[in-house]
Structure 1
Amino acid sequence: MKTRTLPIHSIDDNTLWNNLKMGDEKSFSLLFERYYSDLVSYGNSLSPYAEKVQDCVQDVFTDIWVYRNSLQESVVVKAYLLSSVRKRIARLYERDHIFRKTASTDTIAFLLEFSVENELLDDDYATKEKVMYLNKLLNELPPRQKEALYLRYHQGLSVEQIAEMLDVNYQSASNLLHRGLLALRKEWKGSFAFITLLFSSTL
């Protein structure tokens, strides 16, 4: 009897992670293919140097493979990878003397132009004018609030994972999200249900 091979997209992250820890190159390649684009996109939100960002992402995966035997067994793979890219870019800034060396990554400015246009649902609320206005409000938020919202609603991370990535405690991460949403609520002229609908569609 032939062993049934699971479709690539049905293999969960934890299985791939544990397999690569045991030296399975295919699982490593699948994780690379699954997250490379997201990691480069996130890296580009932290640095304007696209080639260096790609190098950082590739270095993260290289380290994962080289040090696979010492990797933690229980991780949220996506959060781990995003956090690793952020730390790698922080070290890049330190090396290039863009800011003074620090153990924290909180000096990195979030550069991404936030856009929810691709996340729209097909309903009566989703008008071009509203989306353009919402994107304008999002991109006027302080960088840390914008990054927290991006990680929560575009990448689906938990508050705990965001706190770890941004090197802050849980309450501070929660405050960043809360203040960002409050700022949007204050300036938004229409129903706040529209924003809630768009954000919930990204999770």
Structure 2
Amino acid sequence: MKTSTVEFSTFDDITLWTSLKEGDEKSFSMLFERYYADLVSYGNSLSPYHEKVQDCIQDVFTDIWVYRNSLQHSVVVKAYLLSSVRKRIARLHERDHIFRKATNTDSIAFLLEFSVEHEFIDDDYATKEKVTYLNKLLNELPPRQKEALYLRYHQGLSVEQIAEMLDVNYQSASNLLYRGLLALRKEWKGTFSLFLLLSSSSF
């Protein structure tokens, strides 16, 4: 019996990943459609060359399909894809000499700006002026702290996954998050939760 599109869309990542490894093209397409927008958003945060970012994402998925038999059985799919795109863009930067040569991804600057939407804020909690100020605070953070916050609160990755993506140890990733939040808390006087604001930010 043929699986309907609606039923197929309810499959979790591990089910799709396992089916992809077995050569199921629908699973491959479903994962591509599920995460393409997130990968484009994140890729564009690391490079101003948006067409090349899309090429990198296509290359990542091409490699996944070609080398599917050798893929790990148990992965956090979203973290794996984000990390793969980051590494691909880092290699692109090195190859094209957009940044100085490096053996890791430290030379990539996080480019996207946080934007907490005014419409999300109830006037009982904070004024538009305060929200504008919070956006300013967020976007003045060092790039690595801002990227760590983005991965944690917008992409929902764990500290362990962020550490792996940024090629640092767990404590360093935890410190990036802590310092970013500490800097915001020192200045943020609104009563609305910083965590909720970060999770609802658009990029």
Corresponding residue for 2:166?
A: 166
- The one-letter amino acid paired with 1:42 is Y
Return closer, same or farther for 1:118/1:187 CA change in 2, 3 Å cut-off.
closer
- The one-letter amino acid paired with 1:195 is L
Corresponding residue for 1:184?
A: 184
- The one-letter amino acid paired with 1:80 is Y
Q: For 1:7-22, what aligned pairs fall within 5 Å after superposition? A: 7-22=7-22
How far the C-alpha of 1:136 sits from its partner, in A, is 1.1
- The one-letter amino acid paired with 1:178 is Y
- The one-letter amino acid paired with 1:199 is L
Contact in 2 for aligned 1:45/1:110 (Cα 8 Å): yes
- Please give the alpha-carbon distance, in whole angstroms, between the structure 2 residues aligned to 1:121 and 1:35: 28
- The one-letter amino acid paired with 1:112 is L
Return closer, same or farther for 1:67/1:148 CA change in 2, 3 Å cut-off.
same
How far the C-alpha of 1:107 sits from its partner, in A, is 1.1
Structure 1: give runs of 5+ residues left out of the alignment: none
Return closer, same or farther for 1:140/1:23 CA change in 2, 3 Å cut-off.
same
How far the C-alpha of 1:188 sits from its partner, in A, is 1.5
- The one-letter amino acid paired with 2:198 is F
Return closer, same or farther for 1:118/1:110 CA change in 2, 3 Å cut-off.
farther
Corresponding residue for 2:193?
A: 194
Corresponding residue for 2:155?
A: 155
Structure 2: give runs of 5+ residues left out of the alignment: none
Contact in 2 for aligned 1:17/1:77 (Cα 8 Å): yes
1:111 aligns to 2:117 (yes or no): no
Corresponding residue for 2:59?
A: 59
- Please give the alpha-carbon distance, in whole angstroms, between the structure 1 residues aligned to 2:95 and 2:69: 28
Corresponding residue for 1:86?
A: 86
Count of paired positions: 200
How far the C-alpha of 1:4 sits from its partner, in A, is 6.7
- The one-letter amino acid paired with 2:49 is Y
Deviation >3 Å, runs of 4+: 2-6, 118-124, 199-202
Contact in 2 for aligned 1:125/1:194 (Cα 8 Å): no
- Could you give the per-residue CA deviations for residues 109-150 of structure 1, whole angstroms, max 9, x where no partner exists? 000011232893768325433322211110000000000000
Deviates more, 1:159-168 or 1:124-133: 124-133
- Could you give the per-residue CA deviations for residues 46-84 of structure 1, whole angstroms, max 9, x where no partner exists? 000010000001110001001000000000000000000
Corresponding residue for 2:97?
A: 97
Contact in 2 for aligned 1:151/1:157 (Cα 8 Å): yes
Q: TM-score of the superposition, structure 2-length normalised?
A: 0.90
- Please give the alpha-carbon distance, in whole angstroms, between the structure 1 residues aligned to 2:86 and 2:126: 33
Q: TM-score of the superposition, structure 1-length normalised?
A: 0.90
1:75 aligns to 2:75 (yes or no): yes
SS at match of 2:165: helix
- Please give the alpha-carbon distance, in whole angstroms, between the structure 2 residues aligned to 1:62 and 1:118: 40
- Please give the alpha-carbon distance, in whole angstroms, between the structure 1 residues aligned to 2:194 and 2:133: 11
- Please give the alpha-carbon distance, in whole angstroms, between the structure 2 residues aligned to 1:60 and 1:118: 36
- The one-letter amino acid paired with 1:183 is A
Cα RMSD, aligned residues only: 2.1
- The one-letter amino acid paired with 1:48 is P
